[in-house]
Structure 1
């Protein structure tokens, strides 16, 4: 199948480059003019792995207005707060036959995707894959080849032939996909993990491996996990993990999976870009309010991240 990647940032580049290297045709579409211009100027994107073996990989990149291709599947990796604009600008490229895969951080993207794609063709998921955008036209794949994993889940919770074909293609690209059939439970499990690792590491400018060594890491993690599980139980969402398994997932990601990784939220803050905390901790808090429950710790850390954004801007 042919893939179109909407959003050529760190994760979009990793997925697209790995699929391209596995033999699949891939086009990149972005709304970031600096990225488009730099990639065109240098005839590709520079790719490293753990800061080593930097080399140029030729890719095709376009703005939505300049692209005329027709991919079978769109892969969307756009920041939540930029997604509306990106989808509007690319809307003339979407057809009723196309599928969309969006393993994005946070929540809020599904409602936006549903405006342009049939529900049965919307696939979301999670990506436990660490990648860093060093700068325009320069990306670093963290971990050895084949590191990381992901989950794919259909919005209608019914995997079809195309879903399995996408999974097979992703397997060939070393993305290690697993198909699940619990839509909300799959997405919220990653939101909860991000609400711990992304947010706390960002607030204190530390790597995940440093965070997990802190004497208070378990207590802080479990307080956020327990509140999030309380929200999901009231919302009728059955999560993939138990509370203890979610804590173990935080430990594994921080000690084995991505110990040397600064989460994407930190990467945004360090470059004075808005973070996605409103779509992670803020989403958990807002969801709780719908069911008469206040996840006050999530609201507190969400506001602390905004305070950190403010202080950096000052």
Structure 2
């Protein structure tokens, strides 16, 4: 399959590498000059469970998309706040049959994608794979992961299953689900706890989990996600969601991982996606009349941290 990865940072590179190794025709798209130059000069370096591989995968900026070249599948891995502009920029690589799969952290991205793509071509989901950028051109991943996805428009179930099959053949453990919003909200509970809290405390997930107040903090945030989700016909089992989050503490799987928000703000001094995670719950809480004090405060704290670091 001809596949483009729009947003080829840590996780985009991980998926691009896996799909390339499975003999798909892959092109990476990104705007980070140092990353692009490193991959062009040395290939994409990918370290998986402490084994390092190298792959010669083409990488371009959106402005370098060749004329009359389109792909069958576009997977978007931008930061949430970059999604709208990226989709505008990569329009030349899409045609009326190009499918777009969104696996971004956060909630509500389909509304942005629908501004650029027919709803019948939109597929949404989430992933539990993790990755870090070691350096430009070098991504690192460890532990197992999975992908859940669904078609946005009715009648496209067979295509959703076909996309899941392509990802699974590349070792990415993908599944078609008939209720992806449940899995998106469940993953959002992970992002809504681990991202902000690990960033503020400057720890990985295992070290956060070892604190005596970890359970109570996670439970308070998850309850707010569940209360908002109920107004969108998504029924989250709070105890199940808490248990799902707390599996992240396991050092033998992904516990040593620093969440993407920590990588963005603490390591790379970039703005975060907090407005699309806890901030989204705060906005929806105001809309539905649901009190979300923990998400409100966590969003404010991250913005304050951005002000301090990025001033």
| Alignment equivalent of 1:199, drawn from 178, 189, 196 | 196
Q: Deviations over 1:67-114 (max 9, x none)?
A: 223111101100011112211111222211010111111124211211
Q: Is the counterpart of residue 261 in structure 1 residue 257 in structure 2?
A: yes
1:74 is paired with a residue whose SS is: strand
Who is 2:234 aligned against? 238
For 2:80 and 2:34, how far apart are their aligned partners in 1? Answer: 19
User: Which segments of 5 or more consecutive residues in structure 2 lack a partner in the other structure?
Assistant: none
Who is 1:66 aligned against? 64
For 1:160 and 1:293, how far apart are their aligned partners in 2? Answer: 34
Offset at residue 313 of structure 1 (A): 2.8
For 1:311 and 1:66, how far apart are their aligned partners in 2? Answer: 36
Given that 1:157 and 1:181 are in contact with CA atoms closer than 8 Å, whether structure 2 keeps it comes out as no
Aligned length: 307
Offset at residue 157 of structure 1 (A): 5.6
Who is 1:100 aligned against? 100
Given that 2:189 and 2:245 are in contact with CA atoms closer than 8 Å, whether structure 1 keeps it comes out as no
1:151 is paired with a residue whose SS is: strand
Output aligned runs, 1:1-314, within 5 Å: 1-42=1-42, 44-50=43-49, 52-68=50-66, 69-143=69-143, 147-156=144-153, 158-233=155-230, 235-239=231-235, 241-255=236-250, 257-269=253-265, 270-314=267-311
The CA RMSD measured in Å over matched residues stands at: 1.6
For 1:230 and 1:53, how far apart are their aligned partners in 2? Answer: 42
Once structures 1 and 2 are overlaid, which stretch shifts more, 102-111 or 153-162? 153-162
- With structure 1 as the length reference, what TM-score do the two structures score? 0.93
Q: Deviations over 1:102-160 (max 9, x none)?
A: 111112421121122221221111110110011211111222xxx11121122136552
For 1:306 and 1:287, how far apart are their aligned partners in 2? Answer: 19
User: Which segments of 5 or more consecutive residues in structure 1 lack a partner in the other structure?
Assistant: none
For 1:257 and 1:237, how far apart are their aligned partners in 2? Answer: 32
1:65 is paired with a residue whose SS is: helix
Offset at residue 267 of structure 1 (A): 0.3
